[in-house]
A and B are shown apart, each in its own frame.
Chain A
């Protein structure tokens, strides 16, 4: 199966090892992977800010770059959710609407893709390490990403403890986190408290944006937690970057 990796701008710039892990896992799952070089961003910040014109320009670029593959795979529920909205971005009468619909139909969040399309079993990596999972909103509610990351983590030998507020928004929300920083941080605090109560020191999620926000807030607390993208935990330890939330500025 030939798949294209839509790496997402946050992974590309801030957490490239998540991209490397995605590439490796897709290959291990038997896919031929292309990474379109001219990809930049799916246009979500513009779309969610009401800038439809810019969102459209970028949507058309996505259509150009991700044509001609069997599947488009994204290590972010949020960006995968955006690709699913591209038909709406273009509008009902746009000449390339059908193309956008076809792209949306073959676009997957990566953990769902690995479990449902490839039945992928990672090797034993977790060694009984305990963690808790944060469900990012777009993946959860737009795409139904709930069990797939948990299945992969458990297959790899990690022990999952659920927090009560796993499905509550962490307060990142793209530009929301800088437009309304106080509310955003108050939401993070609630999430962090819930994660703390679950008794795991490692918080795992499927979206780098949420993780940066939570990690940055957690570092200001007395007992910071560690944060990782789910893919980081599905490759051997030596290939993992330093966990987020462990900074000492």
Chain B
């Protein structure tokens, strides 16, 4: 499979992230900021919980009828003068998009923010063929200049400070006239001016799609900056690239999903620009693209349909599960080594890249459930992570020591006498060793716990062992009282 991951190093990368003070301050802002905004937006809409149920049911219905929805979508796009292209895998998708760019003689391509094209590593591919790609979303633009990957599916540059951005701008934009780069305002104004020049000189605009509407053949993008609209309106060709699961049957269905999307993503009641694109410009239109193409990407998605992972295809990429994940909140997106980080990424990435490369991702979760509690389409993320753990266990992918310990413990737990005798003895010994100090700073074989934590000593003895016989088999009197 051609999906690039560096997830084997999760532990090393997360250690680095925890030591990275600027990253930690950026993540601190994320943890506080976005979850608070979401909470306020949800509190302002009494129907929000009911809408989550609707949104989940709607996604399930769509997935269950996916072939019909896709065909209807295709027919509508064609009827309105657009073209639809089907890509079974990443390689096919890259080839289709390259051929389209070549067909129109493109030298420069604008990109609206799109996670699917990140998944495809489209920029690298097009650039290798001599086509310049310019990311136009501010966050994407910044990470592109830095040759990094996005660290968040909604806020790609969330891991950076404004000083980092200033440094990248100085390197790439030059220092004409000693520009002020001390504030976020100044930096944004600078990016706006730089990107305007690109907007006016590009041949093709590539966007993603938050939804594809079967009823009208429209693709929908949801943005705050307006870059996506310039990307798809100024060049003479608009290519929308999206996963096959993004289709929805009707306009009303899009309305329902839009209600939960913005609130979950950024805590806004609505994003600034919600744009429905349908076919190329009409003959009488003064602007807009002359050609409109939709690339429908499968790349492992159909393989999830009808399996225990199907619910993951409901995902609308709002990023709420990242914003509320305490693990993501500590280590940031890059630690995951995948363009899809956090809980949703920990489910998706093994599917895209293979479990053997990514076994840490489903494991690195406390199953706290914060992700599932906020997911607007109610994906049971911990359950799906557990299913990956089961597959990893079956394939013997986990660490052998952990497996061995688990087996040992399972052996004793199924033999209560042995278990309780061992427990009584072990806890007594530990309690005795600890004595009045009450805690251990070191334990033989317990380094993983004690490196940074003390181990509070057991009280000594076991509860079960301390009980009198009556407690186990209640008296006749107790029985009659029932």
Contacts and interface: CB of A to CB of B under 8 A. Distances in A.
Contact of B464 (A2, A7, A58, A174): A7
A182 B368 CA distance: 17
Nearest to A167: B370
Contacts of B330: 183, 186-187, 190
Given A37-B464, A40-B412, A246-B438, A172 B366 contact: yes
Interface string B230-269: 0000000000000000000000000000000000000000
Interface stretch (A28-36, A96-104, A122-130, A152-160): A28-36
B389 interface: yes
Given A40-B414, A51-B393, A141-B373, A244 B464 contact: no
Contacts of B367: 48, 137-138, 173-174, 176
A174 B449 CA distance: 12
Interface in B432-482: 434, 437-441, 448-459, 461-464, 466-467, 471-474, 478-479, 481-482
Interface residues of B, number: 73
Contacts of A41: 409, 413
Contacts of A138: 367, 369
Interface string B201-223: 00000000000000000000000
A248 B423 contact: no
Interface in A103-121: none
Given A34-B474, A178-B448, A220-B454, A54 B373 contact: no
Query: Which of B373, B449, B453 has most A Cβ within 10 Å?
Result: B453
Contacts, number: 223
B282 interface: no
Contacts of A47: 386
Interface string A191-226: 000000000000000000000110111011000000
A52 B11 contact: no
A201 B350 CA distance: 43
A180 B14 contact: yes
B306 interface: no
A76 B426 CA distance: 22
Interface residues of A, number: 79
B474 A2 contact: yes
Interface string B398-439: 100010001101101110100110010011000000100111
Interface of B: 11, 14-15, 18, 326-327, 330-331, 363-370, 372-373, 386, 388-394, 398, 402, 406-407, 409-410, 412-414, 416, 419-420, 423, 426-427, 434, 437-441, 448-459, 461-464, 466-467, 471-474, 478-479, 481-482
Given A20-B466, A186-B18, A247-B434, 11 more contacts: A2-B474, A14-B456, A20-B463, A32-B474, A40-B412, A49-B402, A50-B393, A58-B410, A141-B370, A142-B369, A213-B453
Interface of A: 2, 7, 9, 11-20, 23, 32-41, 43, 45-52, 54, 57-58, 61, 70, 137-138, 141-142, 167-169, 171-188, 190, 212-213, 215-217, 219-220, 241-242, 244-249
The 8 A-B residue pairs with the shortest CB-CB distance in the complex, in nearest-first order: A247-B439, A173-B366, A50-B389, A19-B463, A50-B393, A216-B453, A169-B368, A16-B463
